[in-house]
Amino acid sequence: MRRNRKVKILATLGPASNTAETISALFVAGADIFRINMSHASHEEMRRLVRLIRNVEAEHGRPIGILVDLQGPKLRIGEFAEGRIPLEIGQKLILDSDPTPGDKNRVQLPHRDVMESLRPGARVLLDDGRVQLRVIKNAPDQAETEVIAGSQLSNRKGVSLPDTTLKTSALTPKDRRDLEAALEEPIDWVAMSFIQRPDDIAEVRKLARGRVGVLAKIEKPQAVEQLDEIIELADAIMVARGDLGVEIPLEQVPGIQKRITRAGRAAGKPVVVATQMLESMIGAATPTRAEVSDVAGAVFEGADAVMLSAESASGEHPVDAVRVMNSIAEAVERDQYYPMIINAQRAEPLATGADAITAAARQIAETLSLAAIVCFTSSGSTSMRASRERPTVPILALSPVRETARRLSLVWGLHCVVSDDVMNIDEMVDRACSVAHNEGFAAPGERIITTAGVPFGTPGSTNLLRLAFVSPDGHSGM
């Protein structure tokens, strides 16, 4: 199954899409990788969904990626005696550790690490930013705040801390249990929520031990401030615009999205743009014009993947949402301005042999109008370098490691094929021509270019570039 676009689609599974039939329909409609949100899924449900996805993968004969998204620290206030309270600008509100139901003067904040980290002047945002408090003074067990925005507050509303870096890890005990359960299953990516510092990523990498790719969700200003260090440690990045838009002024989010997308591409790390991309399709059969422009903007920017959240997880039209996103992406990539915009953002190759070979392969393929670039890759690094170049010709990623092919389903432009390893250059060229022909990328008489690392099977050793003709029988005409 060949996609007619290069940006990938990440679809979240949930109550509206948790059957084998719907997952298969989502894949056919355009979903390349599926997200399981551990904020809502139990271990049993996660395992069931993984089995269903792998069955769909076997049915269609194409590698499919699975991302398990850890919940991260969810901060919430306690409850009020009457369920809610009215607020006035300038009034005082105490946040304390007392579990007694609150009133107009106080409410519980059952997170001691937050109390210890707050400082005078810091903002406390409640209910997705609808209520804003400023800390006047604080102690280990309570903080006196002043209301600076909001008219009412009700039970168990979420807490955001844009000016405060917590001392504790972003990996909660629940996350650890969820991660351990997920690593027992054939998944490909794990996403970490609410990270604040590079050490948060290092902690997950230590636990994962290379078994999955680690995706860092950028949704806090503290993470934006240390973006380069986080990108260096993570395997992929997500622009999580929902929570980012709560803690950072909304007008700054588009610029931050562009910054993250370009920084990820320069580093050769996949970038996912997420949250509210087709939000109206949770209930409507068609998106708004603004939503179409939003998806198009992410594709024009060169994001590796665009994500559907509630649209595919709990919406009324999950398959239609994927189909619409697929259509938008195809239209953008056919636009006359798309190649110019993508090329203008191309980063200079690093001073390494692998980067030089990959950049040369892209330039040769475009100059000679070749049918495809074929990358032999064990770890995925060769094909990810090719993707970083954003060539106009298709990229085939051939890997003997099924897990690598699945993980690469998140990466821009890669058509992944699980293929036996090759033993010599002649076999490599013949295999490349055969796969390119069989997968519908190269007709007899057309040329392809192949990149690989010699000796074969050595991760990260891209050092070979070879041109070849596809013969009438679909093999190498050398």
Residue numbers annotated as active site? 35, 76, 217, 275
Lookup result for tokens 């990108």: 231
DSSP state string for 259-302? HHHHHHHHHT--EEEESSTTGGGGT-SS--HHHHHHHHHHHHHT
Residues in contact with 206: Cβ distance below 8 Å, sequence separation at least 6, in sequence order:
none
In the structure encoding, which two tokens stand for residue 146, read together?
């002043």
In the structure encoding, which two tokens stand for residue 335, read together?
């636009």
Residue from 412, 405, 411, 353 nearest 379 by CA:
405
Question: Alpha-carbon distance 370 to 470, whole Å?
Answer: 11
Are the CB atoms for 371 and 398 separated by under 8 Å?
no
Three-state SS for 445? coil
Long-range contact pairs involving 116-122 (C-beta distance under 8 Å, separation at least 24): 116/140, 116/167, 117/161, 117/164, 117/165, 117/166, 117/167, 118/143, 118/161, 118/164, 119/163, 119/164, 121/163, 122/161, 122/163, 122/164
Are the CB atoms for 214 and 190 separated by under 8 Å?
yes
Distance of CA 186 to the CA centre of its chain: 18
Angle between helices 381-388 and 353-367 (to 10 degrees): 50
Are the CB atoms for 477 and 470 separated by under 8 Å?
yes
In the structure encoding, which two tokens stand for residue 415, read together?
């058509």
